[in-house]
Amino acid sequence: MIKRDTAIDITKAIGILLMILGHCDGLPHIVRNFIFSFHMPLFFILSGYFYKPKKLKDVVTSGYKHLVKPYLITSFFCILLCITACDWNLAKAKIIGTIMSNGGWSYEMFGANLPFIGPIWFFLALYWCKIFYTFLNQKTDKCLWFSFIISTLALVIGKYIVNLPLGILTGFCGMVFYCMGDYWKNKMNEPFKTPFLIFGLIVWLGCIRKAHLELASFDCNLYPISMFAAFVGTYFTYLISKKVPSFIQPIFIWIGQNTLLILCYHTLAFFIMHNIKHYYLEPNDITLHGIINPIISFILSLGLPYLHTTIQQLAKKRAGHY
For residue 189, give the DSSP letter.
Answer: -
pLDDT of residue 112: 62
Give me the pLDDT at residue 14, please: 97
First to last CA, the chain: 31
**Mind listing the pLDDT tens digit for each residue in 279-301?**
565 554 445 566 787 888 899 99
Interval 170-174 mean pLDDT:
95
What pLDDT, on the 0 to 100 scale, is given for residue 216? 87
pLDDT at 277 over 80: no
How much is the pTM? 0.93
CA dihedral 74, 79, 81, 86 (to 10 degrees): 180
As beta bridge partners, residue 220 has 213
Q: What is the per-residue pLDDT for 249?
A: 95
User: What confidence score (pLDDT) does residue 296 get?
Assistant: 87
Ranking 70-74, 82-86, 263-267 by mean pLDDT, the lowest is 82-86
Decide: helix, strand or coil at residue 228.
helix
pLDDT digit string (tens) for 19-44? 999 988 888 889 999 999 999 999 99
Enumerate residues 6+ apart whose C-beta is below 8 A from 64.
127
How distant, in Å, are the alpha carbons of 28, 50, 168, 192, 225 from that of 151? Answer: 29, 20, 11, 24, 14
